[in-house]
Chain A
Amino acid sequence: MDNSPSAAGDATVIRVDGLAKQYRVFDKREGLAASIRGLFHRESRVVDALRGVDLTVQRGEFVALLGPNGAGKTTFLKLLSGIITPSAGTATVLGHVPWERADAFRRRFALVMGQRNQLWWDLPAAESFRLHREIYRIEPARFTRTRDELVELLDVGGLVNRPVRELSLGERMKLELVAALLHEPEVLFLDEPTIGLDVVAQHTIHRFLRHVRTERHVTVVLTTHYMKDVAALCERLVVITRGSILYDGSLEGIVDRFTSHKIVTLDLDETPDRGRIERFGFPCEIRGPRVTLRIDRDRIADVLPGLLRDEPVRDISVEDVPLEEIVAGLFRGASAAPESGA
């Protein structure tokens, strides 16, 4: 059926080596005089959106690209889907160089970017689906089966015959996902799929993407700001800041790598004395008899027995630092320098 280079056998779907992208941006100074000068001479500078990124993704992986605005996530996704060409480095997706934009490649992946992407604004989504059947050359029986299944999973059966412009943000996003998956792509790129959606819609999309991944074995790379997306979907987390990969590994791994302590929450009989409690660890918060302590991970086994013995502890919980906090810390560290455009 398929005789493209990376057909069956090879488990590596995405291979990226030293991928870099520079943009030339024109600076516009304030004021009329500067604007007039700009007519004759425009000052430009080069912005590094991506600085030599390496990444390998295996078939069936679900990878989240996490980073602050302007970190280079979207640039990376645009490179992988062939919209833009890199300044340096190489990449192959399903054995193809994406920016060569071969039809054989374009039939095997999908990109969902923003809300007004693939669907025709003034027509019912069913019409856009019909067009996809033709441009992706989907066999009619297969098309019907896939469409019905996707529509049912997202519970959008009642929406496919209404003009897209009349739908809500969440409804449109769901239909975008259906459109993107009709041709059963092997790789799916999602650019902030849950941005601006309510909790219920986010939840539905999470459930849907999990299904796509486990039942259809689609390799998914998504960009997001939301830890919620990451926690719900991905085992693998790639943190990008200022065009470089800061972390690439498991969700749990990031906790080990970037934090050296645990958060211990105590419910005591009475409001404790700060000096006394400081012996055990750094008190982040003392609110009445409830105390939150930061304790070095290495010391926790030594500290806890003494704590339980000396203090009137009613209840105790030991937790990792919340992921949001770790990631926010990473972003803050990175955004000390000026952001680069993406």
Chain B
Amino acid sequence: MSETAARPFAGLRAWWTMLSICIEERLAYRGDFILGTAMRFLPIVTQVFLWTAVFGATARGDIAGYSRDDIVAYYLLTMVARAFSSMPGLAGGIARSVRDGSIKKYLVQPVDYVGYLLAARIAHKLVYYLVAALPFAAIFFVCRGFFPPLPDATTVAAFVLSLVLSFLLGFFMEATLGMLGFWFLEVSSVIFAYMLVQYLLSGHMFPIDMLTGIPTGIPGVSLADLVRWLPFEYTAYFPAAVWLGKVRGWALVRALAIEAGWVVAMALCCRLAWRRGTRRYSAFGG
């Protein structure tokens, strides 16, 4: 249509406006946000103490190849990864908007719901980084002794790329999960189960290397192998492993490609869920 031709980047502009409005909305609740962010730093401190205690109790100098310093560094890095990949409230919010009918707005207006959710989430994250940057910097400064020397520029670039991809992966996984709300009235137990699996298998609780050798019942396949076939590790373990230099060279390129593949796959799942879900919604009521 001619109106589109007159403003070639109209779609992008709309998305940009959406992003800026979402940021404003997040900032409307800055007080709550700052407090929430501060609270999220508490477990970091307790985890550092926990691992220190674990290593104090064992005579071994390392666990699964990780020294105490390694594990604290690893843990702090997974916190960075999770600052990108975790999506608090995303799935639940989608399911709620289906239940209370506010999803209708996105059926009536010429907007793409997934695009809107992405804008809202980027806004959410940007405001979070704004608030969390200082405490994060402080913790890393205090804990700098645990870290190996700074990696080279290529590794840092790969780390940043893995973080961006982990954001997208986390977003599309949780958005897909939230769209189960089209089929089930209540998805909070599904979300809970997902969080649990995610916590165990993403490397958030402990490095995935520690699962090597744990049998799964399938001959020749350990739990670590199984986890390698799933997308979860890219949301916590993988970025940390990149920074710590555990994945290098071609293996790194391959892993990033696989992560990108997961992003594409989950984005397609999300689209499909939206299409099927809205069709079901339209057929059954609304």
The judgment on whether A and B are partners is yes
Pick from B105, B281, B284, B285 the residue with the most CB of A within 10 Å. Answer: B285
A104 contacts partner chain B, Cβ-Cβ < 8 Å: yes
B282/A130 in contact, CB under 8 A: no
- A130 in contact with B109 given A83-B104, A123-B28 (CB within 8 Å): no
A297 contacts partner chain B, Cβ-Cβ < 8 Å: no
A111/B108 in contact, CB under 8 A: yes
Shortest 5 CB-CB contacts between residues of A and residues of B:
A134-B14, A106-B110, A134-B17, A103-B110, A85-B282
Contact with B along A104-116 (1 / 0, CB 8 A): 1011001101001
B52 contacts partner chain A, Cβ-Cβ < 8 Å: no
User: Which parts of B121-159 form the interface with A (CB within 8 Å)?
Assistant: none
CB B99 to nearest CB in A, in angstroms, measures 14
Q: Which of B18-26, B35-43, B59-67, B219-227 contacts A (4 or more CB under 8 A)?
A: B18-26
Q: Which of B3-11, B73-81, B82-90, B229-237 contacts A (4 or more CB under 8 A)?
A: B3-11
B197 contacts partner chain A, Cβ-Cβ < 8 Å: no
With A and B bound together, what is the CA distance between A24 and B105 in angstroms?
23
A122 contacts partner chain B, Cβ-Cβ < 8 Å: yes
A135 contacts partner chain B, Cβ-Cβ < 8 Å: yes
A101/B21 in contact, CB under 8 A: no
User: Which parts of B268-286 form the interface with A (CB within 8 Å)?
Assistant: 279, 281-286
With A and B bound together, what is the CA distance between A1 and B3 in angstroms?
8
Could you list 22 examples of A-B contacts with CB < 8 Å? A1-B2, A2-B1, A3-B1, A24-B284, A78-B286, A83-B104, A83-B107, A84-B283, A84-B285, A99-B282, A101-B107, A103-B110, A106-B110, A118-B109, A120-B25, A122-B25, A123-B25, A127-B24, A130-B21, A134-B13, A135-B18, A137-B4
Instruction: Give the A-binding residues of B (Cβ under 8 A).
Output: 1-4, 6-7, 10, 13-14, 16-18, 21, 24-25, 28-29, 102, 104-105, 107-111, 279, 281-286
Partner of B21, one of A107, A111, A117, A123: A123
A82 contacts partner chain B, Cβ-Cβ < 8 Å: yes
- A130 in contact with B17 given A83-B282, A117-B105 (CB within 8 Å): yes
With A and B bound together, what is the CA distance between A1 and B104 in angstroms?
29
A328 contacts partner chain B, Cβ-Cβ < 8 Å: no
Interface residues on A, range: 35 or more
User: Which parts of A1-25 form the interface with B (CB within 8 Å)?
Assistant: 1-3, 23-24
Question: Which residues of chain A have C-beta atoms less than 8 A from B14's C-beta?
Answer: 131, 134-135, 137
